[in-house]
Amino acid sequence: MAAMEDVITLSGDGIFSAYVSRPEGTPKAAIVVIQEIFGVNAGIRKKCDNWAEKGYLAVAPDLFWRLEPGINLDPDVPEEFKQALEWMGKFNQDQGIRDIEATIKYARAAVGGGKVGCVGYCLGGRLAFMTAARTDINASTGYYGVGIDGLLGEKHAIAHPLMLHIPTEDGFVDADTQKAMHDALYGHRKVTLHDYEGLDHGFATEFGKRRDEAAARLADSRTEAFFERELFG
């Protein structure tokens, strides 16, 4: 069962929408699914539905709502990809983290005070790192996060487990950036890094030409095991 539902901002003076997919029966935990630069599109909604099928309450907040509510773009359409980059340039990431924190609060209440994890892709992968460092999220996973090298000064604040999936041929994250991530995070007791040799950005998308089936299944199996361990262990 899925629907768009309202989330109250942390300040209490605003409301934004989130796609919420509910499992049959009582959810065993909640997962916040953090969008790419394309909004809460079909791929992100499918991610939520997949988690609901596994017994989780899944919530994807519309993080671009302060720019324009309901952005829903297809990365395989060149004009829509260009629009997504423009929205990304206008997006306030610090405010986005506060909206993610409000979503965590909403999700935690929806599962009776239980644990909440998050998983993000592209921009969402970066925001997953920021969420791990700046909120009380119980576990975080980021796929092909962009610009994480500029956030490594916050690594000391990561108090709960974080897993990052890194394709080695990411067109948006060069080899020097990947090395900086490995150098800074290797040995961090809360961080796990997985490399995917020869793969490019977007390999775990649900739809479209970017997906690599074998790698997506491998990464997703690691994420599933990670959440099983960290949200119920």
Q: Please identify every residue annotated as catalytic.
A: 170, 201
* SS3 (DSSP) at 33: strand
Distance of CA 124 to the CA centre of its chain: 4
Q: Largest Cα–Cα distance of the chain, in whole Å?
A: 46
Can you read off the two tokens belonging to residue 193?
């890094």
CB atoms within 10 A of CB 209: 8
58: closest CA among 121, 5, 130? 5
> Which run of H or of E encompasses 5?
strand 2-8
143: closest CA among 160, 161, 168, 126? 126
* Backbone Cα Rg of the chain: 16
Return phi, psi of residue 163, to 5°.
-120, 135
CA distance 126 to 147: 7
